[in-house]
Each structure stands twice: as C-alpha cells, then as structure tokens.
Structure 1
Amino acid sequence: MTTPQGGFDISPLTHTSGPIDLSLPYTRSTLAHKSILITGGASGLGAAFARHWAAHGAHITIADVDVSGGETLVAELHALPGSSGHHLFCRCDVTVWEDQLRLFRTAAAASPRGGIDAVVANAGIPERDSAVTGRGFENPVGLDQDGAPAPPLRVLRTNMIGVAYTCHLAMFWLPRNRDPQYRKSGAGGGGEADERERDRHLLLIGSVAGITPLPGQPEYCAAKHGVTGLFRALAGSTFRHGVRVNLLLPYFTDTPLVPWQGMMFLAGAGLARVADVVEAGTRLMADEGIVGRALGVTAPVEVVGDGEDGEVRVVGGGERRGEAIWEVFAHDHEHVEVFVWRYVRLMNALLKVRGWVGFMGDLVRFAWFRRREESRREQSRREQSRREQRKRV
C-alpha cells in the first residue's frame, strides 16, 4: 500500500493500530481483574503504575531486588480502595535467568485469573560512573596488562539483557492465559474466541535516551536504544501470538533513577511528571485496541502555531494546561525516523526555552530526590537487618 506522501505503508501486514488520538477519552474499566506483572516495581515508575492500576482492580505482581520496598508496597496495594486484594511480591534479579523463570511461574500460579494478562518490562538501573566522573566505560585503564578485567556492564545486563529475558518469558506465558470462562463453550479445542477473550499485552519502558544520544552515559544510552529496537522488531510480529506490544519513552522524570552525570545533560528542559507517565502507561495498558505504538512523555508544553515550525513554550509553575504526552512512532511503518526527528527537535526547543534557570532548578530537584532515595534505601537495609537478627534470635 502506497501512502499519499509516496511512502510504503506496511501497517496492514504488521497488524499495528493507527496513530493514537490523545484527545479522546478511554475507559479504565478494562484494568479490573487483569493480572499484571511489573519488574522493578518496588519504587519509582513501577510503583506508581502498581498503585494506580491496583486502585482500578488489577491484580499486581511486583518483582524487585528491594525486598523491604516490595513487601511494603504490596501491603499498601492491599489497603487501597478498589483493590482486588490479590497482590504479590517476588524477589527477583532480572539479570538472573533462573530468578525470572521462577517469577513468571509464581505469578501465573498465584493469579486468580489463571494466568498473566500483561507484563511491564520496567526494571532498570542508572549508570553511576561515566565520562564526566573520569570512571566507567569510556575511561578504561590498565588494559595493556595481562589479566585485565572485562568491564562489568551491569547497566547493559540489567537494562537490556534483563529486559530481553522478560520479553522472552512474556512471549511464552502471555499466550497461555486462556481461562475457559473467557472462551466460548468448546473453544479450547480450537474454537473461535468470543469478544471477551483476554488481553495479552507487553509494555516496554524505554527512555528518551532510547531515541537520542545521552553523552557520558554510553551503557544506559545503548541499553535504551536496544529496548527501542526490541520494541520496533516485536511490534509488527507478535500479533501471530495474540500479543500486543507498546513502548513508553519518558523524559527525565521526578524519580531518583537518572544519576547526576546524566542529569547534567538532561537538565534545563523541565521535568516530566510521574502522573503524566502513569497516564500514558495507563492508556496503553487499558485501551486494548492500541497495538505497536510508542508514547513519549516530556515536561508539559504548548506548541503555538502549525506545522514543523510551531513555537514551543514550556508550561511552568502550577499550570496544568499544555501537552506532556506525545506519540513518537505514529507513522513508523510509513516514513521511518520522521517522528524521531520531530521528537528530538522538541527536546532541543525545550532546552533553548528553559535555559540556565531551568537547568539549575532541575539539578536542585534531582539532588533532593537522590538524597531522599538514599535515605529510603538505608532505612530498608536497616529494617532488613533487624528482621534477620530477630530470625536468628
């Protein structure tokens, strides 16, 4: 099929849905009773997704290495108004294949629905060392010596290999969520599914670093580019298994994940709000007609004027107007890279508008979030230590 612009449109072959009209409302009622597995869900965006979806009746399985944080969050989910009461925490290091194998088996067995309806590949870690610090991947030393160690590549293993493990397991478990109560009588023998057949959704959590360079963060940037590539490869083929795949690409958000070295390059363009990231993720999760789409989330902005040359204005203070959610690959199968180019232009315009005032403000906010996160982790370690001491006694 040829598009009016002369491009080649392969969307019908890939079974992806059309561009998302973000101005249209959608129902969150489809979240009720869905069994959703979230990796890296004990804090940050994963925890924000869990709280919001649990409040709409979803069954949540949290996977994380933070045992104290995960158990505390699950207790909080059980107490939420509207909660299904079916929530679970599993200790899981996503870089360990055996951990993820156990996680998926446990989540499927514990689900009151008899299977997993959605998987959110959210687990990730920041790159603490970088070119800015004089350490890390870009600053090798002593490699002319015998027995020089290989780079640890922890960020790549967690943010890319761990995500690949999650996707591989999701492609096995999601098609197996066929609960007989959601099938026509006799459909288990190959009959046609009715209109209530369960959703199967894989949501990848990427980053703006997955479509544009992030200087000084080579591992993080490479891993997030890998997640973007994995999405683009899967989005047009997983329809064969009845699985829809979508991608979320947040800009710097009010969470402590991004290290200060990365923040040096991100600061000044404003902060994406956690609530906006949750809203974008919820649209992708709840609207079961969205297939193969990617949403980016930025600071709220207004675009004044039409076309590519519209002026971008950052919405400051407590103002709620302005757009924060943008579709990144809306016409990916027609004109590759068109929306990537537009999105990067938007980021550059934000930086230009905000300037040094925004840059310093973002750094101050990031420093506060970092101190709060370090304090929370220290408290979790102390609580875990006290529990272990009581067990020994």
Structure 2
Amino acid sequence: MNAQTMLSGRHALVTGASGGIGTAIAHMLAEAGAHVTLAGRKKEPLHRLADDIDGSTCVVSGFDVTDPASIADGMDKAHDVFGPVSILINNAGEAPSAPFEKTTAQMWSQVLAVDLSGVFHVTQAALPYLKSSDQGARIINIASTAGLTGYAYVSAYCAAKHGVIGLTRALALELADKGVTVNAVCPGFTDTPLLRRSIETIMQKSGRSFDDVLAEFTKANPQKRLITPQEVAHTVLWLASPGANAVTGQAVVVAGGEVMAG
C-alpha cells in the first residue's frame, strides 16, 4: 500500500494538536491521506498548523478535554466536516513538576483531570463514531514511559499515565470484537517545546548549562539522546495502519531502550 494513501478517506482527530508530538502526528496522518481534525484550546496555533499541513484539515478550537460539553461540541463540528471519527489520538496533556511534599491538591487534580480523565471523556464521546466505522477504528493514547516506571518530582504525571495504560488495556478487551483497537504509545524524554521549557527552568534555578541539564534527561537512554516527535508519530502511524489490525491492548515504548515493556 502506498504510504501516501494508507489512510485515505479516514477521519483522524488529534487532541493537543498544536505543539510537539501532536503536531508531528497531525502532519504524518495527513501525509498518509487522512482527513485530520486538529483539536485544542487555542485557535491561532491550530490555524497555523492547518496552514502548514499539506492535506485536508478541520480546526476545532476551544476543545477542553476536561469539559464534556466542550468535547461534545467539538465532536459535532468535526463530524459535520469529515463524518465519523475512525482514528482517535488522545494526545493532550501536561506535566508540571514538584517534589511530592510540595505537590498541591490543585496540581494533583489538574494533572489527573487533563492527562487521565481527559482521555476518558474524549474517548467516551468519540466511541459511538468509532464503533460505527466499517474501516477498523483506532484509539491511540499518547502515554509515557512514566506510565510504566517511576520518575521523581512528577508523581501526579506518573499516576495519570499509569492510569492511561490501565484504561487502554481494559478498553482494548471491551472493544476487541467491536472492530476497534486500543493502544498506548509511551515516549521517553522527547525533544518538544515543553521539554525545552523544563530545561530552561532548571537552568535558571540551578545555574547549570543547557548541555549539562540535557545530559540529565538523556543519561538513562542507552542511545544517549532525546526521542524526536517524528519517531513517536511514526509509531502512531503504524498503529493506525491496516497492518496493525491484530495489535491491541499494547503499551508501545519509544524510548531508545530506556524502558523495556514485558
């Protein structure tokens, strides 16, 4: 099958599409022929992305994964443009850091609301469309190696991403005979604007150099580097492809060997 027509006619919705991994995924799905709905809270970066993509896109701004009413409205708009969603990419997330003792209840609740409950709300809203697809539907959750192991100073994020993987496995079993596969992609530290901002914050607080801080993020990776958003997007494309029809309930690690899922 030609890579440029692999997903021809399919409707993919990507949450958190306006930056980093979400942007890379949107580009790659469009290059494979999918109609791509770009969902996120901020209008301007989504429209810039739509202008950059050589393909068929729909922008759904004001899409808040913590607000079921906002999600329902966004799903209706996407459906009006491209018909039922058959590929759902749950990518929206945030990862503030703090020692556990300084993690406030508000921070804890906000991270779980976005990173875990957001996956629940969006998936539940999209499920009727996914189950109606006659092309083999996909739910692909962007989790993290933090969903498979522990990292200091991001306890809320680790808890949320572990929850995403548990939800992925449970839902995969429920939908196994419904023509819907459910998988998680677990990137390691990835070269995104979010990570760059984290490095800059550490530099400001510690006085250390960029290279010194970057080495802390890459030292556990046997390849001694950051993952690229495009590498994550390639994994998503494979899971969305017809060749992955028998792959479901998996947590696929993209981390250069840092974490090996058993």
Q: Pick from 114, 130, 148: which aligns with 2:98?
A: 130
Helix, strand or coil at the partner of 1:216: coil
Corresponding residue of 2:210: none
How is 1:120-199 mapped onto 2 (pairs within 5 angstroms)?
A: 120-127=89-96, 129-131=97-99, 138-139=101-102, 150-152=105-107, 153-177=109-133, 197-199=134-136
Q: For 1:163 and 1:63, locate their aligned partners in 2 and report how far apart those are by CA, in whole Å.
A: 13
RMSD between superposed Cα atoms in Å: 2.6
State the Cα distance separating 1:228 from its structure 2 match.
0.8
* 1:155 to partner: Cα distance: 1.2
1:28 Cα shift?
6.0
User: CA distance change for structure 1 residues 210 and 140 in 2, over 3 Å: closer, same or farther?
Assistant: closer
1:51 aligned onto 2:27: yes
Query: Which residue number corresponds to residue 255 of structure 2?
Result: 298
Relative distance call for 1:102 and 1:327 in structure 2 (3 A) is farther
Q: Give the TM-score normalised by structure 2.
A: 0.83
Note the C-alpha offset of 1:115.
1.2
Report the TM-score, using the length of structure 1 for normalisation: 0.56
- 1:26: Cα distance to partner? 9.2
Give the 3-state SS of the residue equivalent to 2:245 in structure 1. coil
Aligned-pair identity in percent equals: 28
Give yes or no for the alignment of 1:94 onto 2:58.
no
The answer on 1:281 being equivalent to 2:250 is: no
CA distance in 2 between partners of 1:294 and 1:213 (Å): 16
C-alpha offsets along residues 160-185 of structure 1, whole Å, 9 cap, x if unaligned?
111111121222221134xxxxxxxx
Partner of 2:209: none
Q: What does residue 257 of structure 1 align with?
A: 194
Structure 2 residue 11 is matched with structure 1 residue 35: yes
Aligned length: 241
Are the aligned partners of 2:60 and 2:77 in contact in 1 as well (CA < 8 Å)?
A: no
Structure having the higher Rg: 1
Preserved CA contact (<8 Å) 2:38 2:57: no
Could you tell me how far apart the structure 2 residues matched to 1:43 and 1:130 are?
23
TM alignment of 1:179-328, pairs within 5 A: 197-258=134-195, 259-260=198-199, 266-268=217-219, 269=221, 270-286=225-241, 287-292=243-248, 293-299=250-256, 328=261
1:53-68 equivalence runs, <5 A: 53-68=29-44
Which structure 1 segments of 5+ residues have no match? Answer: 1-24, 132-136, 142-149, 178-196, 302-311, 313-325, 329-338, 340-393
Secondary structure of the 1:87 match is: strand
Q: 1:175, 1:242 within 8 Å by CA — same for their partners in 2?
A: yes
1:325-344 pair list within 5 angstroms: 328=261, 339=262
